[in-house]
């Protein structure tokens, strides 16, 4: 396909140039990234309306999946211009194809927020669904510590790095063991991770309320009650805190 289009819109022309030189593509290259995608969309539409064929590529992964592309796709659909996609390397599907799961359901949230509160809010939203996210190697350890603090040291996580590359690595274990591993093996490369879905609690809400009342009668503080119930039954601390209040 890239050998038969007139133009290739690239996230970074320097990266795509390596591919073009290796395979002898004659198409003209121009940049199309997250900072100029709206402007470039108009250029691409004009080229297509002139009868030219244009391909969109990203440096790695797949356009539109945490990469530029969605703005352009919206513009093309509005104009009724035909689009087709060639499936290629994508960290999400590559990662999931190597991870054992009980069902096919998962939530992909792109890059997880940097802020701890926002991280926990979005992870809580999908706590009963396998939650897949991208993260920087510089921030992953902090994110794993946040998961450990919120969901306990036994929370199951998977981390993949440098997928499809020379140093590809997949680790699946408790968050505590994953943290310990990467403390000894410094993180490098592109990261995709998953917090496994929490199993549905066997304890009903009425039973939890009764446990809370029992602990109140014993003189435990609301903070201690939240910590104890969360630890014993694997419930989210924020949820338990609201019940205690």
Q: Answer whether residue 201 shows pLDDT above 70.
A: no
The pLDDT tens digits of the residues spanning 155-183 come to 999 999 999 989 999 999 999 999 999 99
Instruction: Give the pLDDT confidence score for residue 240 in this predicted structure.
Output: 82
**pTM given for the model:** 0.77
- Can you tell me the mean pLDDT for 193-221? 85
The Cα–Cα gap between 112 and 114 comes to: 7
Instruction: Give the pLDDT confidence score for residue 122 in this predicted structure.
Output: 95
- Can you tell me the mean pLDDT for 230-241? 75
- Distances from the Cα of 89 to the Cα of 29, 36, 165, angstroms: 21, 24, 11
Structure tokens at 156: 């199951």
Q: Answer whether residue 198 shows pLDDT above 90.
A: no
Which residues have CB under 8 Å from 7's CB, separation 6+?
27, 28, 29, 30, 44, 47, 52, 53, 54, 55
Contact 154, 174 (CB under 8 A): yes
Contact 162, 213 (CB under 8 A): no
State the pLDDT confidence band at 6, using cuts at 50, 70 and 90: very high
The Cα–Cα gap between 30 and 10 comes to: 6
Instruction: Give the pLDDT confidence score for residue 230 in this predicted structure.
Output: 77
Structure tokens at 196: 């496994």
The pLDDT tens digits of the residues spanning 219-232 come to 999 989 888 887 77
Indicate the DSSP class of residue 206. H
């Amino acid at each position: 396909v890239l050998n038969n289009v007139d133009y290739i819109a690239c996230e970074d022309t320097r990266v795509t140039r390596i591919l073009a030189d290796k395979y002898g593509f004659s198409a003209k290259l121009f940049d199309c990234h997250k900072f100029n995608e709206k402007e470039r969309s108009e250029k691409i539409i004009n080229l297509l309306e002139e009868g030219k064929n244009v391909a969109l590529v990203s440096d790695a992964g797949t356009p539109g999946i945490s990469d530029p592309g969605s703005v352009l796709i919206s513009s093309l659909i509005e104009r009724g211009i035909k689009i087709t996609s060639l499936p290629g390397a994508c960290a999400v599907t590559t990662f999931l194809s190597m991870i054992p799961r009980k069902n096919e359901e998962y939530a992909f949230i792109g890059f997880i927020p940097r802020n701890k509160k926002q991280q926990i809010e979005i992870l809580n939203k999908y706590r009963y669904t396998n939650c897949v996210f991208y993260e920087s190697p510089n921030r992953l350890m902090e994110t794993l510590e946040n998961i450990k603090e919120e969901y306990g040291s036994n929370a199951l996580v998977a981390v993949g790095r440098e997928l499809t590359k020379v140093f590809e690595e997949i680790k699946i274990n408790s968050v505590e063991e994953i943290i310990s591993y990467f403390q000894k093996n410094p993180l490098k490369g592109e990261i995709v991770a998953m917090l496994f879905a929490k199993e549905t609690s066997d304890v009903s809400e009425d039973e939890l309320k009764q446990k809370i009342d029992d602990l109140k009668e014993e003189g435990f503080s609301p903070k201690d009650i939240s910590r104890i119930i969360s630890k014993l039954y694997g419930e989210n601390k924020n949820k338990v805190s609201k019940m205690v209040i």
